[in-house]
Amino acid sequence: MDFFEHQDKARRNTGLLILYFGLAVLCIFGALFTLASYFLSRDPYSEKIVWDMGMAVQIALGTGLLIGSGSLYKIATLNGGGKVVAESLGGNPLYPGTHDPKEKRLLNIVEEMAIASGTPVPPVYLMEENSINAFAAGHSPENAVIGVTRGCIDKLNRDQLQGVMAHEFSHILNGDMRMNIRLIGVLHGILLIAGLGFFLMRIAPFLGGGRRSRESGGLGIAMLVAGIVMLVIGYVGAFFGGLIKAAVSRQREFLADASAVQFTRNPQGISGALKKIGGLSEGSRIEAPKANECSHMFFGASVSSLFATHPKLEKRVRRIDPNWKGSFPDTNNLAEHPDTTEFVGASGFLGEIGKATKSKPKAGTGTARPRDAIRSAGNPTQAHMEHARKVISKTPSALLDQVREPFGARCVIFALLLDKVDKVVRDKQFALLLRQTERGSVEETETASSRLSDLSSEQKFALVEMAAPALAHLSPGQYAAFRNTVEHLVAADNRLDLFEWSLRKAIDHHLGRRFSQRRPPHGSASIRRLLPDCLLVLGTLARHGQDGMAPEPSFNEGASALTRSKALSLPSVEECGVAQLNEAVTRLERLTPLEKRSLLEACSRTIDFDGKATEVEVQVLRGVAAGISCPLPPVTAG
């Protein structure tokens, strides 16, 4: 499956989670009603249980209110996305400009993978745990974070660390994170009864003393009994919570392992990481108090449980390396970052994912045509990784240093928006920066501008992606001021060109949702309902990207992929302005995931009609993909 199919499946899985939740609540209600009827509604003469429907309604309302309010409260606390989860597990954000070689290596891997997959570069959080483990958390790729243990960066070499990160990026791309966060909220409500019972048991002994010892002692006993009953009933919820976690998590771990092999083309990396977990005394265990709550989110099993959230380690290794001998290395005594151990072929495992890679660009090509890039959405390959690495390596190191810290990152974004032709407009923009930004911003922006002159548009968009972790350190007020300055720089020449529009869409995509905490963007609208907006996008591509050729043939080629209607007309030049395009793309965000894929494929057919992709076409395609929140692997003009 590609990104769009995974997102569509994630939407359906939400319904399955609601069904599991409903069954768990129903069983808790049944247990409470049975106990209450046994002790409170027995006929005094026959000793038979009387099933009181009025009491059933009261218990049902009370159970629903307690569990529902608990779940809603937890979901509300997780509104901040992956950052909230990472901090609850004791994670601290890694500074993008760190000079620690191990931390820098990790951040470089994350940058390469984000650019290769077309997602915002996620902030990385480090947990001071000696075990080998990692997780991805967030509502969507735009507010995702990656958490990594200290043992992970200390014990794994680059290939193994890359395999673990590829596994986590699979969860980011496949919609697993959103389900994981919802699962935390749902299970919190179910387990709240057990927590309340435990609380009552703890306070019961303190109610047995004082002047009114007889009365308070009776109250203490009642509290103790109530606490024990609620604890028992609560663990009915815990039983179902374990079942839900196991049902949701296990198969997804196998799929994420498969995606990691496809992404890196190096089965040795992820299998080596799994083997090192097996040979480490701490394994993948997490000591943080919230580890059990988040156990289904980790790369490896973080806690021991009756209902395991992860397949057995041996089974995961054998899926990747069928000829594995069954022994784990002594990870405790290995030197740091040793060479990877000898690896025996994994043809069986690669055969499982062979179908998913048939349409992907071949390794070594480095770039992809628009249609290939869209087909690769959510399934990046090693070729995309190599190309991302090349894009980064060809970018001046001074620019990379700038974009990896908050002040410099803002100035690089400002520099991207400076007018390259009109000196009057440029001077106006510098005057604006002097008024609206802190001291030194003008000089830093001017320095960045001189370094940007020879960069391709692809490198410029990559810089925006790489700026995301540094700018995530801004406060909401600082981000609002930054966004206001961006708007004024764009408006300085009283016009908006397609590059500025695409860049602004990328900024909103990579940063805006992280600060606005908008919900995941996929909607339920169809192409038929929003066909005029789809045709306007295709018309913009046809009119602005065909290098002087007649726009009608390329427009018709793209439109034929959306509808069989013969009565389609190319939008006029006036209708294909940047403002109209922006309004159309904003509405198109409401499309379903599969309809978004159809739209992007129609765009690729319009672009590919003349056999080449121009810079303008690539910029518009990137802007549209960012505007409708779809990851786009590297695609270049030519």
Nearest CA among 486, 495, 467 for reference residue 578: 495
Q: Which of 56, 1, 119, 225 is nearest to 632 (CA)?
A: 119
Model pLDDT, residue 359 = 36
Checking if the pLDDT of 526 tops 80, the result is: yes
Q: Indicate if 255 and 146 belong to the same structural domain.
A: yes
Distance from CA of residue 144 to its chain's centroid?
4
Q: Is residue 581 part of a domain?
A: no
pLDDT of residue 356: 35
pLDDT for residue 360 is more than 70: no
Write 99-102 long-range contacts (CB < 8 A, 24+).
102/153, 102/154
Asked if 17 and 248 touch (Cβ cutoff 8 Å), the reply is yes
One domain, residues 185 and 304: yes
Q: Establish how many alpha carbons lie within 13 A of residue 268's alpha carbon, considering only the half-sphere containing its beta carbon.
A: 11
Is residue 435 exposed (0-12), middle (13-18) or buried (19+ Cβ within 10 Å)?
Answer: exposed
Does 551 map to a domain? no
Query: What is Dmax (Cα atoms) for the chain?
Result: 99
Strand pairing partners for 125?
93, 147
Higher pLDDT, 44 or 27: 27
Residue 251 amino acid letter: Q
- What integer pLDDT is reported at residue 15 of this predicted model? 62
Which stretch of 272-286, 491-505, 507-521 has the lowest confidence by average pLDDT?
507-521
Q: Which residue has the higher pLDDT, 232 or 110?
A: 110
Residue 218 neighbours by CB distance under 10 Å: 13
Q: Are 210 and 150 in a shared domain?
A: yes
Q: Over 90: is that where the pLDDT of 299 sits?
A: yes
pLDDT digits (tens, 9 = 90+) for 29-74: 887 777 777 666 655 555 566 667 888 888 888 888 888 888 888 8
- Among 615, 364, 343, 341, which Cα is nearest to 502's? 615
Last residue of a domain, one of 495, 512, 545: 495
Query: Which of 48-57, 121-130, 306-315, 418-427 has the least mean pLDDT?
Result: 48-57
Whether residues 325 and 433 fall in one domain: no
Tell me the C-alpha distance between 253 and 168, whole Å: 10
Question: Where among 443, 461, 495 does a domain terminate?
Answer: 495
The backbone torsions φ and ψ at residue 92, rounded to the nearest 5 degrees and listed phi first, read -120, 135
Q: How many CB atoms sit inside 10 A of residue 491's CB?
A: 12
Tell me the C-alpha distance between 82 and 177, whole Å: 9
Whether residue 10 is contained in a domain is answered as yes
pLDDT score for 373: 80
Distances (CA, A) of 1 to 5, 264, 362, 596: 6, 17, 18, 15
pLDDT > 90? residue 587 = yes
Assigned token pair, 397: 């190191």
Strands, E assignment, 9-152: 92-93, 124-127, 134-137, 145-149
Length of the chain: 638
Exposure class string for 581-619: b at 16+ Cβ within 10 A, else e: beebbebbbbbbbebbbbbbbbbbbbbbbbeebbbbbbb
308 and 405 co-located in one domain: no
- Boundary-marking domain end, from 495, 512, 533: 495
- Class of residue 565 by CB neighbours under 10 A (exposed 0-12, middle 13-18, buried 19+): exposed
Q: Is there a single domain that holds both residue 283 and residue 180?
A: yes
User: Is there a single domain that holds both residue 167 and residue 47?
Assistant: yes
Whose CA is closest to 291, among 110, 192, 300, 92?
300
The verdict on residue 625 lying in a domain is no
- Average pLDDT along the chain: 82
d(CA 563, CA 416): 38
pLDDT greater than 50 at residue 167: yes
Task: Report if residue 568 sits inside a domain.
Answer: no
Please tell me the predicted confidence (pLDDT) of residue 509. Answer: 77
Residues 23 and 130 in one domain: yes
* Residues 150 and 244 occupy one common structural domain: yes
Q: Which contacts of 97-103 are long-range, i.e. CB under 8 A and separated by 24 or more positions?
A: 97/401, 97/404, 97/405, 97/470, 102/153, 102/154, 103/153
The pLDDT score that the predictor gives to residue 201 is 76
Contact status, residue 602 vs residue 533, Cβ threshold 8 Å: no
- 434 pLDDT higher than 70: yes
The H-or-E segment that residue 619 falls in is helix 615-627
Q: How many structural domains compose the chain?
A: 2
Q: pLDDT value at position 342?
A: 34
DSSP for residue 89: T
User: Angle, to 10 degrees, between the axis of helix 551-559 and the axis of helix 593-608?
Assistant: 150
Looking at residue 348, what is its pLDDT? 36
Determine which helix (DSSP H) or strand (DSSP E) holds 85, and give its type and residue range. Answer: helix 82-88
What's the rounded mean pLDDT across residues 349-365? Answer: 38
Residue 240 to residues 194, 246, 305, 480, Cα–Cα distance (Å): 13, 10, 13, 44
pTM (predicted TM-score): 0.80
Q: What is the DSSP string of 421-487?
A: S-HHHHHHHHHHHHHHS-TTHHHHHHHHHHHHTT--HHHHHHHHHHHHHHHTTS-HHHHHHHHHHHH
The residue among 329 and 457 whose pLDDT is bigger is 329
Average pLDDT over residues 183-203: 77
Question: Rounded to 5, what percent of the chain is helix, strand, coil?
Answer: 65, 5, 30
Q: What distance in Å separates the CA atoms of residue 387 and residue 484, rounded to the nearest whole number? A: 33
The phi, psi pair for 57, rounded to 5°, reads -65, -45
Mean pLDDT, residues 286-292 taken together: 90
319-343: average pLDDT: 72
| Residues 401 and 351 both lie in one domain | no
Identify whether 401 is part of a domain. Answer: yes
Whether residue 277 has pLDDT greater than 80: yes
Pair (328, 415) in one structural domain: no
- The per-residue b/e assignment along 398-421, b for 16 or more CB within 10 angstroms, e otherwise, is ebbebbbbbebbbbbbbbbbbbee
Which pLDDT score, from 0 to 100, does residue 341 have?
37
Structure token pair of residue 32: 């409470």
- The answer as to whether 213 is a domain residue is yes
**Sorting pLDDT into bands at 50, 70 and 90, what band is 598?**
very high
Residue 14: pLDDT band (50, 70, 90) is low
Q: What is the three-class DSSP state of 74?
A: helix
**Within a domain: residue 108?**
yes
Which secondary structure element, helix H or strand E, spans residue 388, and what is its range? helix 382-393
Catalytic residues: 168
CB atoms within 10 A of CB 202: 12
> Quick one: DSSP state of residue 591?
B
**Cα gap 490→121, rounded to integer Å:** 24
Burial of 548 (0-12, 13-18, 19+ CB in 10 A): exposed
Tell me which residue range forms the domain holding 129: 1-358
Same domain, residue pair 55 and 144: yes
